[in-house]
Structure 1
Amino acid sequence: MNFKSLKRAVSVSLAALFVAGAVAGCGGGEKKDAGSAQKPAAGQTVKINFPTASASGALYAVGAAITNMWNQNVPGVNAASQASAGGIANLGMVADGEAQVSIAISSNCYQALNGTDSFKDHAFKDFRAIGGLYMNPNQVVVTKASGISKLSDVKGKHFAVASAGSSVYNECQTHFTAAGLNFPDDMKCEYITFTDAADMLQNGSIDGAWIMSGAPASAVSQALTANCTLVNIDDAVLKALKEKYPWYAPYTIPAGTYPNQDKDVQTSAIKMVMFTRADMPEDVVYNLTKSFWEHIDELGASQKNLKGLKPADAVKDIANLPLHPGAEKYYKEIGVLK
C-alpha cells in the first residue's frame, strides 16, 4: 500500500468514527435493505465537517447557513462549516474522509466521480449527491481602460485566474480555449483570490479577473464601484462549451444586479451540487436532505443564492450524478422521483 492509499484508508476509518451514530429516532422507523449503510447507534452525535470556499465568497456564507440550520433542526447533528480552497479541494477532502458533506460545481463532481481532468488517476467512486442547488455563474470583470469587450480580447492582458488547478482556473481554461486562445500562455496570469483581484481591479494593476460565484458577488460589486464592467460571453462560445461539456447552461445577470450595471449580461453557469460519501449512513443523509428542503424558505431569506430553490429541481442538470440512497429516499417520498 502506497502512502496515498494508506492516508485514504486512515481517513476513511476516521470518517467512519466521525459519523458513527445519530440520536434515537433519526432513522424514521424504517428498516434498511440488506447491504445499505449500517444504522447509527442511538445516543451518539453525528459530526459533520462542511468545507466551502474562501471566507470572502458567497459559498462560505451558504455553507454556514446550512450547517447552522442543521444544528438547530436535526437532533443529534453537530455540523460546522469551514473556509477552504473551493470545490476541487472540497471533493478531495470528502473523498479522503477529512470532511463529510460539501458543495462543488457539477462539472467537478462529474470529473471526480469518473477520474478525469484534475482527478485523473484519483477517481472518487464513492461520490454521492444530496441534490443540486443553485446555478453558479461565471463573471468576467474587466477595467474599462483595458479595452476588453469579449473573451478573445484578453489575449496579452494581465488577468486574474485564481489558483492553478482550482475550479475557477479550470473555467478559465475551458472558456478561453473555446474563445480561440491558448490558455494560459496567451495572457499574463495572476493567481490570486477574488478579494485580491477586486482590490487590483480597483487600483488598475490588472486588466481583468474571472470570478465564479453566485450573483451578486461581493468581489464583483467592489470592482464595479470602480471603473470596471462585466463582459458578455457570446453565443458562439456558449455553443462550443455546451457541445463539449453538457453541464453548462446560459445565464443572464440582470441589469441592476451590481453598481453601475445598466444592461443584462450574458454568461455561462453550472449548477452547484451538495454531496457526501456513499458510506454516510442512509438515515443521516435522509434527515439532512429532508431538513434542508423543509427549511429552504428561511435559508433563502438569509442567503440570496438559496432563494426560490425547489426540491423538484434538485435532480435536474446535475450531469447524471448518482444520488445517495438517503437523499433518493426523500425525493421518492415527496414525489420528485418514482
Structure 2
Amino acid sequence: MVRIGVPGAAVVLALLLACAGVFAGPAPGTLTIGTNPPGTLFYALGSGVARVLTDYAGLRAVVQPYSGSSTFLPLLNAGELQLGVVNAVDVAMAYRGPDRLKVGGRNPFQSAPNIRLVVRGGPLYAVQWARRDSPFRTVADLRGRRVTGVYSAHLALWYNTYGNLASCGLSWNDVQVVPVSTVGEGMRALVAGRADSAAYALGAADVQEADATIGLRALSICGDEQGQRRLREAVPGYYAVRLKAGRSAGVVEDVWVEAYDIYLLTHKDMNEDVVYRVTKTLWEQNRKLWPLHSAFEEWATRRYVDPGVTVPYHPGAIRLYREKGAWTRAMDEAQARLLQEAAR
C-alpha cells in the first residue's frame, strides 16, 4: 500500500480539482471547443478563440472538430462539451426544438434547451459557388442544374442552399440534387465536376484551395427587395449583404450573398467564473483575434450583445457585459423572453 504524506495529498487534491471539469469546481481545467471539420470557417474561428483564451485568459483551450453542429450540439446541451462555435439559425432550431420551430418544413435538430450564449460574433457569409469558367452568374441560373444537397451530417448547408434558392424563387424541386453528407464533400463534388454548384462559407480554407485549383465564382442571390423578403421568410435569421469584388477568394464581381450570425456557446451550468473569464478575455483582447482570420475583423465588441439573438446569454457573460455598460434594459427583456421560451 502506498502512503501519501500531507504535501503529496495536497498535490493529488489539486490535480483532482483541476480535472473535475468546469461545471462545478473552481478550477477551469481544459476547455474543449466544438467546431465543424478542419478546413471550414468554424474550425478556423474555434482555433482562433482557443489560441486567445490559452494565451491571455490563463485557460487551456483546445478545438474538437465534428462533422457538423447537429453532431456536437447534443453534447453541448448535455454538458459533455464546454464551448461550441455555431450559427444563429442552427441554435434557434436546437434551442426551441423541432416541435416549436421548423424551417422549410423541417427541423432535424435535437432539442437543446440547456445551451447559452457567450459571444455574438461576426456574420457568416454563406455563398453559392460555381466554377469560374461556367456560364452561371446568379443563383437564378441554377434552375435545372446539379446542386449539392441533403447534407445529412452538416444540416446547416441544407438551409444555406435552401435560402439561396428561395431568394430567387426557386426550391429544391427546381434543381437536380447531388446528395452529399458534409460541406467538404459538397465542395469536392464541385471541384470534381459532379456538381454545378455548392454552398460554402466565404473565406474558408477549402474555398481558397478550390479557387486555386479550378477557379471559383461566387453566385449572386436575388438581392432586390422581393428577393430579400423571400430570403427572410424562408429562413428567419438570414439577411442579404452586398460584397464588393475582390473581398475574398472567388468574389470576382460585386454580389449579393446570404449572411447570418456566428455564436460562441456554452452550457447553462458552466462555471460562472470561467465563462466570465472567457467573455472578459474575448472583450479585452478582441484585437488579438483579428490577425488570426479575416472573419474575426467583424467580431467587434459592439456586436457581442444584441437583443435579437436566438438563445439566452450565460450569467457569467452577462456579468461582464454589465461591467462594460453593454447590458441594457432591452437586454433584460430579451433574456427574460428567451428563457421563457425554453420553459414552455
TM-score (norm 2): 0.78
Q: Aligned equivalents of 1:20 and 1:324: distance in 2?
A: 13
Tell me if the contact between 1:90 and 1:104 (Cα under 8 Å) persists in the aligned partners.
no
Give the drift of 1:158. 1.9
Q: 1:336 to 1:264 in 2, by over 3 A?
A: same
Give the drift of 1:73. 2.4
Q: 1:98 to 1:119 in 2, by over 3 A?
A: farther
1:151 to 126, 136, 139: 139
* Offset from partner CA, 1:103-141 (integer Å, 9 cap, x none): 111111111111134656842111211121010011111
Q: Aligned equivalents of 2:283 and 2:150: distance in 1?
A: 32
SS in 1 for 2:129: strand
SS in 2 for 1:18: coil
Residue in 1 aligned with 2:42? Answer: 59
Residue in 2 aligned with 1:299? Answer: 289
Tell me if the contact between 1:249 and 1:268 (Cα under 8 Å) persists in the aligned partners.
yes
The answer to whether 1:255 aligns with 2:245 is yes
Q: Aligned equivalents of 2:60 and 2:140: distance in 1?
A: 48
Aligned partner letter, 1:108: D
1:173 to 126, 142, 162: 162
Residue in 2 aligned with 1:275? Answer: 265
Give the drift of 1:177. 4.1
Q: Aligned equivalents of 2:327 and 2:91: distance in 1?
A: 21
Give the drift of 1:207. 0.9
Residue in 2 aligned with 1:102? Answer: 84
Q: Aligned equivalents of 2:217 and 2:264: distance in 1?
A: 31
Aligned partner letter, 1:130: V
SS in 2 for 1:147: coil
Structure 1 range deviating more: 55-64 or 160-169: 160-169
Residue in 2 aligned with 1:19? Answer: 22
2:129 to 126, 132, 141: 141
Residue in 1 aligned with 2:179? Answer: 190
1:85 to 55, 67, 71: 67
1:217-232 paired onto structure 2 within 5 Å: 217-225=204-212, 226-232=214-220
Residue in 2 aligned with 1:111? Answer: 93
The answer to whether 1:204 aligns with 2:193 is yes
Give the drift of 1:194. 4.2
SS in 2 for 1:148: coil
The answer to whether 1:316 aligns with 2:312 is no
Tell me if the contact between 1:106 and 1:318 (Cα under 8 Å) persists in the aligned partners.
no
Tell me if the contact between 1:224 and 1:258 (Cα under 8 Å) persists in the aligned partners.
no
Q: 1:186 to 1:160 in 2, by over 3 A?
A: closer
Residue in 1 aligned with 2:57? Answer: 74
Give the drift of 1:286. 0.7
SS in 2 for 1:181: coil
Residue in 2 aligned with 1:329? Answer: 319
Residue in 2 aligned with 1:46? Answer: 29
Give the drift of 1:218. 2.6
Aligned partner letter, 2:69: G
Tell me if the contact between 1:132 and 1:313 (Cα under 8 Å) persists in the aligned partners.
yes
Q: Aligned equivalents of 1:261 and 1:109: distance in 2?
A: 28
Q: Aligned equivalents of 1:240 and 1:251: distance in 2?
A: 14
SS in 2 for 1:161: strand
Tell me if the contact between 2:228 and 2:240 (Cα under 8 Å) persists in the aligned partners.
yes
Q: 1:178 to 1:257 in 2, by over 3 A?
A: closer
* Offset from partner CA, 1:260-317 (integer Å, 9 cap, x none): 6442111110000111111112111111100111111111112211125322211237
Aligned partner letter, 2:35: T
TM-score (norm 1): 0.79
2:113 to 125, 135, 138: 125
Q: 1:311 to 1:162 in 2, by over 3 A?
A: farther
Q: 1:252 to 1:174 in 2, by over 3 A?
A: closer
**Corresponding residue pairs, total:** 300
Give the drift of 1:178. 4.8
* Offset from partner CA, 1:37-81 (integer Å, 9 cap, x none): xxx34xx34332211111111221221121122223223x33211
Q: Which runs of 5+ in 2 are unaligned?
A: 1-18, 329-344
Q: 1:330 to 1:187 in 2, by over 3 A?
A: same
Give the drift of 1:206. 2.0
SS in 2 for 1:326: helix
Q: 1:184 to 1:282 in 2, by over 3 A?
A: farther
Q: 1:217 to 1:45 in 2, by over 3 A?
A: closer
Q: Aligned equivalents of 1:169 and 1:192: distance in 2?
A: 10
